[in-house]
Structure formats: structure tokens, C-alpha cells
């Protein structure tokens, strides 16, 4: 993995002296490896200073960015399992303890550098109530993959996972999906083994998550995006 020292002077030729301010703010050194997290932070600073197009152009010219790719994901599951909290924690870095029912659909967007690609992510938060069942098919369209969510303290939401898998496949066919158990900070009160669903229903993996603590929120998105990039032959 490349280190800052290898790119520092080249980056300074584009960003000027403000690069040194950014380096100090990020707390990195010459021997710091430029992983996706560091590159995302650098991109965000360049974005504020130069705008989207120029930031992408510069990182591409110095060979730190392979390209940009838009990816649409979905998150589905029973009502009140924490789908919105999952999306908000990922996109906004925040957690709201109050429960607000999603009316039909909502979406959250965020740019992240993953495997040297600037991924323009949009995650569609699909309401789980039956009355929105006729609306959901319209919002699955165009998704490259997604998450089926259940609450680790709601056994019914766990038992209903196969029904959500069927709905996804009825609308999208075979797309990469991760199974996520939410509210891990409250313990585990389900009666079954999530890995059984992984084996039987074709999930690409399973993760416990917590929107309260942030546990595995970013990891879940990064893991799914990497699977999608592999499927597209990009990595």
C-alpha cells in the first residue's frame, strides 16, 4: 500500500501549502499508508476546497483514484428493526433515539473511497409496513445489492427474513445481499442462528450491527460494496 511520503510533493503541487494543514488535521505522517479511510478524508478536504470535479480530477491525475462509480443499495426488513438508524449512522454519523416511521421510502447518500474507487453511494431505506408493499418494487429497481435487516431483540423480525429475501428476488433477481442483525447493544434475544440463513438463503455474509455504538455499520457497507465491485470485475 502506498505511503504519504511517495505522494506528498506531487500532492503539494496541486493543493499548495494547505496540504500541510490537512496532514496535521488528519494526524498522519510520511510513513502513513494511504488506505481507503485516509484517502476518503483527503478527498473530503479537497472536495471542500476545490469542488467535486476538480477533487476527483486531481486524485486521478496522481494515481490515487481509479475512477468513480455510482452504487445504489437498499435496506429492507420488518418495521422498527432500525433500518433508518443504520442508514443515518452510516451517512450522517449520528444516532437518533426517537423512533420515526419511514413513510414509504427515504434515501441517504455518501461518497467513500473503497478499493481506490470513489463510490457515490445511495442507500434506499424501504418502509417495512404491509401498507407500503405495493410501493417497494419501484424503489428496488436499479439496486446493485442490499441489506436484509432484523433486530437481535425481535424474534419475529428474524423469522420474517425469508419473506424479505423472496421479495428482493421477485423484484431484482439474484443480487448480492448481506444479512444484518441490528441493535446488538441490547443483547441477543432471537431463537435461531443467522448463519443458517446465510447458508440456506444465499446471503454473502452476516454482521451484528449497532447504530447506537456504530458497531459494524461502515464495515457492512464496505463489505457489500467490495462484493459488488468484484462482481463487476473492477477489483
To the question of pTM greater than 0.75 for the whole model, the response is yes
Question: Is 171 in contact with 141 (CB distance < 8 Å)?
Answer: yes
Residue 105's pLDDT band, with cuts at 50, 70 and 90, is confident
Residue 131 pLDDT exceeds 70: no
Residue pair 60/7 in contact by the 8 Å Cβ criterion: no
Rounded mean pLDDT, 50-62: 96
Q: Evaluate if residue 28 carries a pLDDT over 90.
A: yes
pLDDT at 94: 81
pLDDT of residue 106: 87
Q: Give the pLDDT score at 109.
A: 96
Q: What are phi and psi of 81, to 5 degrees?
A: -85, -10
Domain with CATH 3.40.50.300 in the chain: 68-231
Question: Is 110 in contact with 91 (CB distance < 8 Å)?
Answer: yes
Does the domain at 68-231 match CATH 1.20.58.100? Answer given as no
Nearest Cα to 184, choosing from 81, 91, 96? 81
Cell readout for 125 is 431505506
At 185, list the grid cell.
447493544
Edge-to-edge order in the sheet of strand 177-182: 105-114, 117-126, 67-77, 145-151, 177-182, 206-208
The mean pLDDT of 58-65, rounded to a whole number, is 96
Amino acid at each position: 500500500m502506498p505511503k504519504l511520503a511517495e505522494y506528498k510533493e506531487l500532492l503539494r503541487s496541486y493543493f499548495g501549502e494547505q496540504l500541510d494543514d490537512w496532514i496535521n488535521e488528519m494526524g498522519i505522517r510520511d510513513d502513513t499508508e494511504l488506505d481507503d479511510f485516509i484517502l476518503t478524508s483527503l478527498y473530503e478536504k479537497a472536495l471542500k476546497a476545490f469542488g467535486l470535479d476538480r477533487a476527483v480530477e486531481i486524485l486521478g491525475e496522481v494515481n490515487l483514484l481509479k475512477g468513480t462509480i455510482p452504487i445504489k443499495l437498499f435496506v429492507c426488513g420488518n418495521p422498527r428493526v432500525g433500518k433508518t438508524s443504520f442508514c443515518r449512522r452510516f451517512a450522517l454519523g449520528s444516532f437518533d433515539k426517537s423512533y420515526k416511521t419511514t413513510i414509504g421510502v427515504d434515501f441517504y447518500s455518501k461518497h467513500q473511497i473503497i478499493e481506490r474507487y470513489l463510490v457515490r453511494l445511495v442507500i434506499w431505506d424501504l418502509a417495512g409496513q404491509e401498507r407500503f408493499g405495493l410501493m417497494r418494487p419501484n424503489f428496488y429497481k436499479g439496486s446493485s445489492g442490499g441489506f436484509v435487516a432484523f433486530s437481535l431483540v425481535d424474534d419475529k423480525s428474524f423469522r420474517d427474513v425469508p419473506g424479505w429475501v423472496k421479495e428482493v428476488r421477485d423484484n431484482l433477481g439474484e443480487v448480492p445481499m448481506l444479512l444484518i442483525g441490528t441493535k446488538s447493544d441490547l443483547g441477543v434475544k432471537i431463537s435461531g442462528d443467522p448463519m443458517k440463513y446465510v447458508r440456506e438463503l444465499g446471503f454473502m455474509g452476516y454482521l451484528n450491527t449497532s447504530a447506537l455504538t456504530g458497531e459494524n455499520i461502515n464495515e457492512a457497507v464496505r463489505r457489500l460494496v467490495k462484493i459488488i465491485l468484484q462482481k463487476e470485475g473492477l477489483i
